[in-house]
């Protein structure tokens, strides 16, 4: 029995494929990180 047969989403596989595609675009991620800067919290660990 598959998720398609049951008509339910199988997000694990979809998210895995999306993550792999996104990680393959390193140049684009580096450029985006310079334009869209998020918060950089101070490290509070050991």
Question: Is the residue at 46 inside a domain?
Answer: no
Question: Is the residue at 28 inside a domain?
Answer: yes
pLDDT of residue 27: 94
pLDDT of residue 26: 93
Cβ burial of 45 (10 Å; 0-12, 13-18, 19+) is exposed
How far apart are alpha carbons 10 and 30 in whole angstroms? 30
Question: Is the residue at 23 inside a domain?
Answer: yes
Question: Is the residue at 17 inside a domain?
Answer: yes
Question: Is the residue at 42 inside a domain?
Answer: no
Question: Is the residue at 45 inside a domain?
Answer: no
pLDDT of residue 3: 84
Q: Chunk the chain into consecutive blocks of 10 residues (it has 46) and report each block's average pLDDT, rounded to whole numbers.
A: 85 89 92 85 83
Question: Is the residue at 44 inside a domain?
Answer: no
- pTM of the full structure: 0.47
How far apart are alpha carbons 16 and 1 in whole angstroms? 21
Question: What is the number of structural domains in the chain?
Answer: 1
Question: Is the residue at 19 inside a domain?
Answer: yes
Residue 19: give the domain boundaries: 3-35
pLDDT of residue 21: 93
């Amino acid at each position: 029995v598959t998720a398609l047969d049951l008509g339910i989403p199988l997000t694990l596989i979809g998210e895995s494929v999306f993550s792999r595609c996104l990680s393959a675009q390193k140049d684009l991620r580096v450029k985006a990180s310079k334009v869209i800067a998020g918060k950089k919290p101070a490290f509070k660990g050991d």
